Structure 1
Amino acid sequence: MVRRIRLLLDDSAWFVPFLYGMGGIVLTAFTQVFGEFFRDLLPEFIYLDLDSAASVLSSTFTSLMTMMTFSFSTILVVLTTYSSQFSPRTINNFLTNTSAKHTLGLFIMTTVYGISNLFLVRTADEGVVLSSGISVLLVIGSIWAFVKFIQTVSVSIQAERLLSELHKEALSVISEQKDAIESDEVHLVLPRSVHSLEGQAVRAPQTGYIRLFLREKQGDHETDFESVVAVGDFVAKGDLLGFWKGEDAPDIELFEIGEVRSSMQDPSFAIEKLSEIALRGISPGINDPNTAIHAIHYIGDILRELCELSDGDFLYSNGKCDWHVKRKTLETILFESLSPMQTYASRDIFVMGSVFEAIRMARLQAHETLDSTFEDMVQYFVDVIDWDRLHVKEQNYLHNKINRAKKMAT
Structure 2
Amino acid sequence: MVVGGGIGGLAVTLGLARRGHRVTVLERRGEFTELGAGIQLAPNAFHALDRLGVGEAVRERAVFIDELRLFDGTTGERINAMPLSEAYRRRYGNPYAVVHRTDLYRPLLEACRPLANVELLTGCQVTGYEQDATGATVVLAPGDLRLTADAVLGADGLRSAVRAQLVGDGEPRVSGHTIYRSVIPMERVPEELRSNAVSLWAGPKWHFVHYPISGGRALNLAATRDDGATEAVTGVPAGRAGVLEEFPGLSPRARALLELGDDWHRWVLCDRDPVERWVDGRVALLGDAAHPMLQYAAQGACQALEDAVLIGDLLGDAGDAGDRAADPIPRALTAYNERRGPRTAKAQWVAREMGRQVYHPDGVAAKERNVALSALSSEELYEKVDWLHGARDYARV
TM over 0.5: no
Higher RCO (CA-CA < 8 Å; seq separation 6+): 2
> Which has the greater radius of gyration?
1
Structure having the larger proportion of residues in strand: 2
